[in-house]
Amino acid sequence: MSSFNKVILMGHLVRDPELRATGGGTNVGSFSLAINNRGKDGKESVSYIDCVAFGKQADFAKEYLTNAMPILIDGRLSRADGSRRGRNARTST
């Protein structure tokens, strides 16, 4: 059985995207998305999702996306191992 990994998210940017380059010269853009959720009891909660874009998508994010902007993104879930940098593992989209 084959696998399928796709996610579509809609929310607001928490901060302006940050851009960096890999050792091989590929641009990497990172940003966080805040998604408001309302439970059955009517209480609101917020989920914060770390997102990463590569290449031309990273360039686009840096140039056109700004803090608090509402956006819709599609991508895939990936678990990043932060232990190399002394951090806990994180899930990025």
Query: What CATH number did the domain enclosing 32 receive?
Result: 2.40.50.140
Domain total in the chain = 1
- pTM score, two decimals? 0.79
63 belongs to a structural domain = yes
The domain containing residue 13 runs over which residues?
Answer: 7-80
12 belongs to a structural domain = yes
| Per-residue pLDDT reduced to its tens digit, 5-63 | 999 999 999 999 999 999 999 999 999 999 999 989 999 999 999 999 999 999 999 99
The DSSP annotation for 36-55 comes to EEE-TTS-EEEEEEEEEEET
2 belongs to a structural domain = no
- Residues 83 and 26: their CA atoms lie apart, in Å, by 22
